[in-house]
Structure 1
Amino acid sequence: MTPNPLRNPQFATTLAHGLALLNCFKVSDAILSNKDFAERTGLSKATVSRLTYTLAMLGFLRYDNNVRKYRLGSAAVSVGYPFLQGLRIRELARPLMRELADVARGSVSLGIRDRTQMVYVETARGHESPAFRPDTGASLPILASAMGRAWLGRAEPAQRAAVIEQVQTRDPAQWDAYHAGLEGALRTFAECDVALGEGDIEREIHAVAVPMREPINSETFVFNCGVPRLQLTDRTLVDVIAPRLVAMVDTLERQIASQNVAADETRTSPSPLPEQATMDSFPDDDDRQFAFTLARGLEILRCFRPGEAALGNKDFVARTGLSKATVSRLAYTLTELGYLRHDEVARNYRLGGGVLSMGYPLLAGMRIRQIARPFMRELALQVRGSVSLGMRDQSNMVYIECCPGDKRILARPDVGAVRPILRMAMGRAWLAAVTPQEREVALNRLRIGVPDQWQQYGAQVQQALHDFHETGVCFSYGDMQKNAYGVAAPLCAQVDAETLVFNCAVPAQSSQGRRLIDDIAPQLVTMVSNVEIAAGLR
């Protein structure tokens, strides 16, 4: 019988309660009140009030004054970025996934297990079916999804039994709904090395899934291809799409074997770009409304930097200033909840799939991303650059949608990436677009919170405001990274009470400065205008 972590004195209950509030959000429930949190978690109103106050101060929640409720904050997205950045398999698999998605006219996704769920870490869409738009961070029940059944089919018997027991004890609703089909699914996998899902989660979507033969850093990765049912004949999924998916996985495994991806992903030294996203200083110790245990647990998660696959308790202690005993307790709790994974052999921790699921409701609920995606892709191809959409995350901007372009831009953007607000065109455009009062509050926070950044780049704010007044855009000439120039323009109106900004980055060359002003900036303005019309903002 699996022991109940709640009864372990090492378990940090306040941290668990705070994370439970973040898990209350669903794609269909983008705004929640303290009353909603209390009803969904069973916590008292006083406890909920204290936790929401803390989460809002840390950027994981955002209070919407118009409706007097909370939305997920941008920190819920950015906390998962180092996890994604450390998965080099995504970069290798992306072109193969895109090719198959186009051929199948469906969606090809890559996922890993997160306790009793499977969570998507990469998705390529070959359709825009309104009923099924999988996205990074989406989680599916392990028993109901083709991806989950494939994972169970590949697992060793003891590991499979442990996960099934976990479903029975910790997710009884999933067990009751789907366990009847488990034996047949495992039998199909044993015979064909694939798992099927025929409308179990989305009635109009059928899927086939194939796991990789060998784990990478103790993680079993599974590929899934979902196709609208109306596009399929009786045997298309099994006879056509399944063999193509198997062939795609075989190709990827050969590439991985030749490039030694596992060794590459175990590196622990951070990449030089971008700067580490920092959490603003905690309030004074006498602030009784602030839940310090919750804040310190989230600070552990934010210790990871892009390029760092694993950290030990010693690293957490050095980066947070917390005691060894406190770090040990917080890491234990985060591991039990799926936000960290403990490597027993290396005796260190990796980020778990839970950090991706945390921000998924925010991303999936932003219809503007789906509307903007084709316009962004078209511009990226035209200018041979990268086009991104972002929102503010305290002293940074966080990317919520990206269309990568030219490979010469070394730090290619990805969803969840954070960049210092003063150093990039996107951040400067955000400052120019908000009200003078909001801008002054943000600038004061930057002066105090990131004094080094302010001293180096603060003087450029006035130039950015002037550029925005004259042209409707802001620029960055190698301030974020030397090999890239950027131009950014905001949407004309807020979306869900949030100011969103589009950014276009191109490789830095001697001739690109004039091109950025004369050619790319007008194209970006036109693209933003087209998105605004399509979204009904003007």
Structure 2
Amino acid sequence: MNEIIDLPREKGGEKDRKFVEALARGLDLLRAFSQQGGVLGNQDLARITGLPKPTISRLTYTLTQLGYLTYSKHLEKYQLDVGVLALGYAYTSNLNVRKIAKPYMEKMATQANVSVGLTIRERLSMIYVENCRNEKTQALRMDVGSRLPLATSSSGRAFLAGLSDDERQQILSLMEQHSGDHWPAWQESISKAIDEYQEKGFCTSLGDWSKDVNAVAVPLKLLDGRVMAINCGGPKYLISDEMIMQSLGPQLVHVVRDIEATGV
């Protein structure tokens, strides 16, 4: 699924005069690096974003001058520079829920020998903003900034299940536009996940995101109206379907309720 997707640039059928197209293109170009690898040339970026090569050249030059990209003369390609890291650090350091949730996540990770992650939606992905694991176990290792697909991961399904009907439908419509032949299967799995959440309080992904991984997630609803998701899981040879359904899922529901009770 291509994450370099068109965002709403029109209102009521007319072009949105407040929308800065040049800025949007520059940000789309930066997103390309997180989707397609760490080192990209102008030709790669043109292919990924669909932007004309002259536009790409101007954007990469500008972003390099501003410290968001750096150019390798040897490879004749670009990679993200420290300016992007500074923005990411500023965001995560000011994310209050991350600080509040971490002790609860660490406790479950230690007691259950699993990886426990806090994720937030970014377009058609869920991104880790915190991850806790017991270093002595073989729990799934996902670094901050790692992405999960919205459609097939437990986090993505839990996020969708936690939305209002109108909010969910907006995102589902966007997913349908960019999912191609995958949509019928994804639509069915998301519908089942919503039913699962209403019945059990959690959403599962039993080999759906990765055939070797079982995971479960619960939506985390913040007081400001945002919805995040907390997941846990691990390799199938350690985390069985039964363990997910009978033990980890219910435990995670209690963890999320304890975090929400703090008033985040």
Both proteins in one fold, TM over 0.5: yes
Partner residue, 1:450 = 179
Within 5 Å, give how 1:348-363 maps onto structure 2: 348-363=77-92
Q: Any gaps of 5 or more consecutive residues in structure 1?
A: 1-274
Q: Does 1:517 align with 2:245?
A: yes
Instruction: Provide the secondary structure at the position in 1 that maps to 2:78.
Output: strand
Partner residue, 2:65 = 336
Partner residue, 2:257 = 529
Distance 1:277 1:417 in 2: 14
Partner residue, 1:46 = none
Match of 1:387 among 116, 119, 125: 116
Instruction: Provide the secondary structure at the position in 2 that maps to 1:302.
Output: helix
Instruction: Provide the secondary structure at the position in 1 that maps to 2:84.
Output: helix
Distance 1:495 1:389, change over 3 A: farther
Partner residue, 1:323 = 52
Any conservation in 1 of the 2:113–2:133 contact (CA below 8 Å)?
A: no
Within 5 Å, give how 1:361-376 maps onto structure 2: 361-376=90-105
Any conservation in 2 of the 1:391–1:399 contact (CA below 8 Å)?
A: yes
Any conservation in 2 of the 1:395–1:421 contact (CA below 8 Å)?
A: yes
Match of 1:467 among 196, 206, 216: 196
TM-score w.r.t. structure 1 length?
0.45
Distance 1:490 1:503 in 2: 9
Within 5 Å, give how 1:111-130 maps onto structure 2: none
Q: Any gaps of 5 or more consecutive residues in structure 2?
A: none
How many equivalent pairs are there?
259
Letter in 2 for 1:524: L
Distance 1:429 1:277 in 2: 20
Distance 1:510 1:376, change over 3 A: closer
CA RMSD of aligned residues (A): 2.4
Distance 1:404 1:279, change over 3 A: farther
Partner residue, 1:241 = none
Any conservation in 1 of the 2:100–2:259 contact (CA below 8 Å)?
A: yes
Q: Does 1:428 align with 2:157?
A: yes
TM-score w.r.t. structure 2 length?
0.88
Partner residue, 2:4 = 278
Distance 1:505 1:461 in 2: 19
1:421-451 CA deviation, whole Å, 9 max, x = no partner?
1111111111111112212222222222323
Instruction: Provide the secondary structure at the position in 2 that maps to 1:413.
Output: coil
Any conservation in 2 of the 1:311–1:350 contact (CA below 8 Å)?
A: yes
Distance 1:503 1:459 in 2: 21
Identity %: 35
- Shift of the alpha carbon at 1:302? 1.6
Letter in 1 for 2:208: D
1:356-412 CA deviation, whole Å, 9 max, x = no partner?
222333322221111111211121222222111112222222222111455464xx3
Any conservation in 2 of the 1:397–1:418 contact (CA below 8 Å)?
A: yes
Instruction: Provide the secondary structure at the position in 2 that maps to 1:479.
Output: coil
Q: Does 1:438 align with 2:167?
A: yes
Which structure has the bigger radius of gyration?
Answer: 1
